[in-house]
Chain A
Amino acid sequence: MAFDQALRLTSILLAAVSFVGLTLGSGLPAWLALVTGGGLIIALVRQVATGASAHPARQIWFTPAGWNFLVVIGFLGFWVDMFLVSGELLPAGIHFLMILMVIKLFNLTQRRDYLHLYAISLVAILASGSLTTDLWYLPVFLLYLVAGVWTLILFQITKAPEGPSASPTGAPLGRVTPQLFWLANGLALACFVMTVAIFFLIPRLSTGFYQKGFGDNIRTSGFSETVNLGAIGPIKRDPSVVMRVELARQAPHVLDRLYVRGLAFDQYDGKSWTNRLGHRRNLNEESPGTFLVRGHQGTADARLGDVIQQNILLEPLDTAVLFAAPFVERLSGKFPAVHSDATGSVYLPFPSASRIEYSVVSRSQPVLPVDLGSAPPQYGESFAGHFLQVPDLSQRISGLSEDLTRSRPSSYEKALAIQEFLTRNYRYSLDAPLAGLDRPLEEFLFHRKTGYCEHYATAMVIMLRTVGIPARLVTGFLATEWNEYGNYYVVRQQDAHAWVEVHLPHSGWIVMDPTPPSSEPARSEHPAWLALGRIIDSAKLQWSRFFVQYSAADQIAVVQELKAGGKSVGYKAFDSMTSIFGPLTRLLGVMPDQIFRGSNRSQMAMLGVIVTVGILLLWLGRKKAMSGIRLTRKSTGEEQIIVGLYKQMVTRLADRGISKTPSTTPMELVHIAGMQWAESNSAVASITELYCRARFGGMVLTDEELQRAKDRLRQLTALEKP
């Protein structure tokens, strides 16, 4: 491809990449996306179809004045957009930018037009960076980088020299060679590596606790002061990721499920739950950024429970609740303040508009042996008012509870009996619309006998309270999706869950869950797709952690580590690299298993891919080897050619009886040849001079000089003939 044609192509691609970035960032209305996309496609098709010989200017429908008029119209449209339509500068500016891009795409005649297009595309990629923090920005940015490097190289190569050396025609200088192709891609790779290095090294001066929000927060339910029974149901089909939970110490196989606690509710009015203990108070900071959650959840020795250290990356939600495994002891994060209520729920002062990351130390509450045999004690009035409150219910529920627990002496055993009853005799279904009924709990327990977590948890709490056991309903998430590539739980909206916390006299609050496993069929996606989904999710996490949320605090931490000693930094760097490339290596690790466990078809497909890649590598290697051989020949080629010609000349002279002894110098041979065979003198002298220059003078012979030597040898050969 000719340089100027390649320049036009890469310039259009550069614009296209920035347009894709803006479109994915939801920065464009549909009509403008269609217009710009159409313009790009037309420009690209024209470029590919017309070839290098046809100048695009020939196909332009407007004169320069017409284009200028369009720009003025677009500018007026920008003001109208800003004041009447969008009402903001950024969207109106982006819309105007796209209009300019379309105009420039059809008006690429002079070099400054190209520069304008590059400036527009740069602003567009910046705008897309301000509109999103999603992972797709990374491939778009990489494509932009590659297209940018190509474009700049071609723009430089096609630049006509200034001054007296300027080409009168300004004609293109050549074509894109394989060497230039690899060089440009190599430079793009080097640029990427250097970009990453510089990105991490640039000092971050802005230390804002919260970044600017991007778009709307994820709407969720079940995490407000009052929750209607059945509120969780609608979000149980939403696969949006709400958080990712890394466990610091537990091996993943130890915890096959993780309860991520949100809010606890004490008051049930027959249709909805309310948290009357929601009064929030500020938590004290143990150290900067680390908040200590006071108030023990029970009387048990805290050291008996298992410690769960979590690192949580929470997506922007429409609630201020900070989720964590029960029961939170300590919380660390870049927050100005953290609140807590009497039920142990933890909150931010207000919902975060951006993704946040925090670490939590939780401790589970074990059931102490002393609680296994003791009867329910008498609770204080205040405590009982909150956790033994029951609404006006039918006697059937009390009767059922009494029947189930009559033979059980202790609170814990009673609770187990109710849990077992619900788990065994009821069926899980999301298609259980109980919200509109007068007595949904009775309907669930005695008629439909199907429901989902809220119904089970509500039923168990009320049944426990009717037999005098304090209990409360807890909403949160039940994490079961383990991402083995990133070593974390993926928590989605559909993992929203409700369960029960039962108070035991000595153990305190313990977690119980009466919801049976879902009988609905699981997702029937191919394992490979599921694995791919987990890899992408892991990449999203790393992207967010290492790029989007990289901050001055991280840089300070690195510097402190460097001060502390090189080894730990090395290990941390190794860990970081492992975490970045971990998904890929793990995928490679599990691939053989997947292949050999899979069907013949998948095995054949994998074999085909391997063979194809092998052939491609061989072909590339062969090309490189061949080019290497060619280069080697070329490197000594000029000297070898003249030495060969000189040897042939010596042979011709020897045929005529003029032999060269080892002690004869080249110039002496010229002299001897001139004496004995005068006609040969000019040819011999000429070849010898070139030979000496190349062989001993280290001079570089040009192609013309080599051709002259060949001509002289031919003359000498012709002289030989009688």
Chain B
Amino acid sequence: MPLHTPFFRRRSFRYRSTRVTSEGLQFLIFTLAIGIAAINTGNNLFYLPLAMMLSLILISGIVAEYCLRRLEFHRHLPDFIVANQPATATLVVKNRKSSLPSFSLAVFDASDGRDLDRGATVHHLPADASRLVSYPFLARRRGKLHFEGVRVATEFPFGLFMKKAFYAVEGTVVVGPEITPLNENILQGLVSAGQEQSLHRRGQGTDLYNLRVYHAGDDSRSIHWPTTARTSQLMVRETEAEEQRRATIRLSTIAPLSHDAVFEQAVSLSASLVQHLVHQGYLIRLIVGASRSIFGHGEPHLYDLLRMLALCERRAPNGKIDGNEGLEADHAEADGGTEIVVQSWSGPSELQPNRLTVLINGQPISGGFYGV
């Protein structure tokens, strides 16, 4: 919009809009027909219904304006959501008018210049009262989902026009990558890598480590009764010490523009791996491009990692940095546990273009990476 446009025009242009409903269109046609009849006949008793219909149109605009005025919105968004998984947002609508209620309010999320209909409606909002509206929403892409505001619409009182008003209620939610089930090849690779990593030594745990003869001072609860019965001497059960397994997931962010979709698949696969391994009790570290996390476990750490993946961005290769070089440089890092590398681009000499590459401890995993 040009800068010389008056302020009030810019304001009204942005904050108010009106659309004729189908019933309103029929009403306007009737009004026009009655107007023609009134002018044609000069009968004042035709002018009276014509005046009534015109006044209904005027009152529609005035009442709708009052319905949309002096509303207050507070949006409560979750801290973190996952792409393509429904989430719930809540919106508190308050009518700040001292005496006039608002009716038939339909609330839309305004995001990226579009009005997103969430099906949130408030049928009656008395003066100085508030309503809590919850509605599900679905983010299609990872990243930051920004809401510019709320657009509220009403067809009250007569359903002839839909008037909309915009309220600036900014809100942002981080959308994590889509979590998908992992396929069998990756799961097998992870199991193999986990077995190699196991350390067998006595300690507090649940898995059986050894059976030996009972010594004085041993906990009587550790007596292994089936073996005692078979050997006719008291035998106790020793358990294997539980050592937490470690894994490092590396996601290369270097990929040309043509590999954008593959890069997103790589991010999604990384997120799925992170979630899987955290649930398996692994200590996880995530390296995304140049940024890296510490080893950690549990839900808070999981969300930290998913947030990293949500906000990571693809970098175009500039010729100086070779993605493989960067990854191999980190590969030698000690005590990293299982090393999982996810690549969306293998370099200019890529053999299988537009295919993800997954390496577990340096061994490539073949096949598609998404389960059913």
Question: Given A202-B51, A631-B127, are A547 and B44 also a contact pair (CB < 8 Å)?
Answer: yes
Would you call B42 and A207 a contact (CB within 8 A)? yes
* Contact pick for B41, options A159, A191, A212, A635, CB 8 Å: A212
Chain B residues near A165 (CB, 8 Å)?
Answer: 106, 117-121
Residue A187 is within 8 A (CB to CB) of chain B in the complex: yes
What residue in chain A is nearest B35 (Cβ atoms)? Answer: A202
Would you call B92 and A700 a contact (CB within 8 A)? yes
Would you call B117 and A163 a contact (CB within 8 A)? yes
Question: Given A152-B159, A156-B158, are A198 and B54 also a contact pair (CB < 8 Å)?
Answer: yes
Would you call A129 and B45 a contact (CB within 8 A)? yes
- The count of residues in chain A whose C-beta lies closer than 8 Å to any C-beta of chain B is 61
How far, in Å, is A157 (CB) from chain B's closest CB?
6
Question: Given A129-B43, A700-B92, are A156 and B128 also a contact pair (CB < 8 Å)?
Answer: no
Among the 9-residue stretches A119-127, A421-429, A516-524, the one with 4 or more Cβ atoms under 8 Å from chain B is A119-127
Query: How many angstroms from the CA of A28 to the CA of B47 in the assembled complex?
Result: 23
Interface size class of B (residues with CB under 8 A): 35 or more
Residue A337 is within 8 A (CB to CB) of chain B in the complex: no
Interface of A: prevailing SS: helix
Question: Given A129-B43, A157-B123, A174-B123, are A195 and B51 also a contact pair (CB < 8 Å)?
Answer: yes
Residue A63 is within 8 A (CB to CB) of chain B in the complex: no
Q: Using a CB-CB cutoff of 8 Å, which residues 36-69 of chain B contact chain A?
A: 37-52, 54-56, 58-59, 63
Residue A145 is within 8 A (CB to CB) of chain B in the complex: yes
Would you call B155 and A194 a contact (CB within 8 A)? no
Residue B101 is within 8 A (CB to CB) of chain A in the complex: yes
Chain B residues near A202 (CB, 8 Å)?
Answer: 38, 47, 50-51, 54
Would you call B155 and A196 a contact (CB within 8 A)? no
Would you call A704 and B132 a contact (CB within 8 A)? yes
Would you call A634 and B129 a contact (CB within 8 A)? yes
Residue A220 is within 8 A (CB to CB) of chain B in the complex: no
* Contact pick for B48, options A141, A187, A207, A635, CB 8 Å: A141
Interface code B13-35, partner A: CB below 8 Å = 1, 0 otherwise? 00000000001001000100010
Residue B103 is within 8 A (CB to CB) of chain A in the complex: yes
Query: How many angstroms from the CA of A635 to the CA of B129 in the assembled complex?
Result: 7
Residue A568 is within 8 A (CB to CB) of chain B in the complex: no
How far, in Å, is B115 (CB) from chain A's closest CB?
11
Would you call B158 and A153 a contact (CB within 8 A)? yes
Q: Using a CB-CB cutoff of 8 Å, which residues 176-214 of chain A contact chain B?
A: 177, 179-180, 183, 187, 190-191, 194-199, 202, 204-208, 211-212
Chain A residues near B54 (CB, 8 Å)?
Answer: 195, 198, 202
Would you call A155 and B159 a contact (CB within 8 A)? yes
How far, in Å, is B18 (CB) from chain A's closest CB?
15
Q: Using a CB-CB cutoff of 8 Å, which residues 117-157 of chain B contact chain A?
A: 117-121, 123-124, 126-130, 132, 155-157
Residue B104 is within 8 A (CB to CB) of chain A in the complex: yes
* Contact pick for B104, options A125, A148, A156, CB 8 Å: A156
Residue B242 is within 8 A (CB to CB) of chain A in the complex: no
Question: Given A157-B103, A179-B101, are A548 and B45 also a contact pair (CB < 8 Å)?
Answer: yes
Pairs across A and B, CB under 8 Å, 22 listed: A125-B49, A126-B37, A126-B46, A129-B45, A129-B49, A145-B52, A152-B158, A152-B159, A161-B106, A161-B119, A164-B119, A165-B121, A194-B55, A194-B59, A197-B51, A198-B54, A199-B48, A199-B51, A202-B47, A204-B47, A206-B40, A702-B130
Apart from A141-B48, A156-B159, A206-B40, what 17 extra A-B contacts exist at CB < 8 Å?
A129-B48, A130-B43, A145-B52, A148-B56, A149-B157, A157-B104, A165-B106, A165-B118, A187-B157, A191-B59, A195-B51, A195-B54, A199-B44, A202-B50, A204-B47, A212-B43, A631-B127
Chain B residues packing against A (C-beta within 8 Å): 23, 26, 30, 34, 37-52, 54-56, 58-59, 63, 72, 74, 92, 94, 98-99, 101, 103-104, 106, 117-121, 123-124, 126-130, 132, 155-160
